[in-house]
Amino acid sequence: MRLKNLIKSFEFSEAVRSKITLGSKVRLNPSTHRIQLEEKSDNTYPTDNNLYVKTWITNPLSVKQWLGFHVVDVHYQDYSGTVLTSLGFRLSDGINQYAWIGSAWVVSASVWNTEQEVADHISTFPTTSKKLQVVINLKTTDENVTPEVKEIKILWSSDIEFQEDLIYRSLIPFLKEKIRPIADHVVKLSANSTTIDLDNFPLETPYNIIGIDSVYNHTTDSEHSNDLFQSYNSGTKVITLKSSISADNLAWIRFTWEPEIAVTTSQEFYEIDKVPAIHITGISLTDKIQFGSGDYVANKGSGSAVKVNAPLQADIDIVLLGLTSSAKDQMRLSDEIKKFFSNNVFLKSKNLDENYDLWQTSEYELTTVVNQNELHSGTVGFKIKNAKFFTKDSENVKIVKNLIQQIVTV
């Protein structure tokens, strides 16, 4: 298996305040961007034993193993060299908290591990749920000082292929989930009925129906003011109505549908008979840049570290092509795509658990060509901003210990 070493960083800037859980008597300092004990009115700090902070839960679906644990922190010592502040840690899968007890990770609400214990044994922490959260215990024996935590870095291995993750694993499911155009289906009932079986009234266009929006008796209610829809069984394709529609009346059914989504790179889409559909085409990388030297996760006890080199950063420019068999469907698909870009400003990479901005670069434009396969089409351009591609292998390096442990004498 071809694996890549990556780093997941929990940084405590003001921007993540809503994502972390602050226990009592602890705070995120907006000036220093660090977690610390909360200062009391007399300018001292609490000396309680179990004060804590929880990071957010990271959930990279491509994780194969957690490999390293590195805390960027500040501690204080007196002039005799006695360290006055300390940190404890537990790992969590978002449900239970775990501590290392010398032979295994066990569910615990009482044991706190040192950074070294976590760093030495995180490689055996299970990845079954793909989720990881760090619970931090802050402690001082001197009420005049507080430990400070700036960042926690986790080294992990992944089999990710970056562009495949963003396009196939992340973007396509996101589009399928969020783009829900509406369409109409009009049927004439042969008998009085409070149900409509769609298998008896097949649609001319092969829509993938997601749900029923409304049903009207068009014959007696041409203004569509009285919605008769009650429920829909997607397994049996049976619609249940609040009241009966008489024989020979027209039932006007409005439903939402999920577009077929495919990736194409040429004119081959004209040969595809799956309509309506959305095609992702014209994929290209722009504004490529590689800067910085990367980052590392160190084991402070041994001084060994893994350096992950800086990624290639680029925008992924994409064109969406919408295909329908009718002009009405095309207009409704156009409206839904406009709505999508108005309300969704970022794309989550599922395998990295990272967010990327989506920028629309052109308006949805109708491009229908008369008499061309009776298709109605439109296109819109957008880009995934600052996508990361870790193209260089990680390196094993040695770190000078006094450069990775900050202890201040007071």
pLDDT of residue 267: 47
CB atoms within 10 A of CB 304: 14
Q: What is the mean pLDDT of each run of 10 residues along the chain (410 residues)?
A: 92 95 97 96 95 97 97 95 96 97 95 97 96 98 97 97 93 94 95 95 89 97 97 96 97 95 61 74 90 90 93 95 90 93 88 95 82 78 94 89 73
154 and 29, same structural domain? yes
CATH number for the domain that contains residue 65? 2.60.120.260
pLDDT of 362 reads 94
Task: Please write the tens of the pLDDT for every residue from 194-215.
Answer: 999 999 998 888 899 999 999 9
State residue 271's pLDDT score: 44
- Phi/psi for 119 (5° steps) reads -60, -35
pTM of the model: 0.87
Q: What is the CATH number of the domain that holds 299?
A: 3.30.2000.10
| Residue 216 domain-assigned (yes or no) | yes
At residue 270, the pLDDT reads: 43
- For residues 229 and 308, state if they share a domain: no
253 and 282 in a single domain? The answer is no
Compute the chain's Rg from CA coordinates. Answer: 29
- Residue 302 sits in the same domain as residue 223: no
Shared-domain flag, residues 291 and 325 = yes
Domain span holding position 288: 162-179+260-389
List of E strands, 12-84? 21-22, 26-29, 34-37, 51-54, 63-77
373 and 300 within one domain: yes
Residue 283 lies in a domain: yes
Burial call 198-208: b when 16+ CB within 10 Å, e when fewer: beebeeeeebe
Domain count, the chain: 3
Pairing of strands 312-324, 148-158: unpaired
Q: Does residue 273 sit in the same domain as residue 361?
A: yes
Map residue 402 onto helix, strand or coil: helix
pLDDT tens profile 131-188:
999 999 999 999 999 999 999 999 999 999 999 999 999 999 999 999 999 999 999 9
Alpha carbons within 13 angstroms on the beta-carbon side of residue 172 total 16
In a domain, 195, yes or no: yes
**Does the residue 402 lie in any domain?**
no
State whether 295 and 375 are in the same domain: yes
Instruction: Assess if residue 395 is contained within a domain.
Output: no
What is the predicted pLDDT for the residue at 269? 42
Which of 226, 257, 288 is the last residue before a domain boundary? 257
What pLDDT score does 290 carry?
85
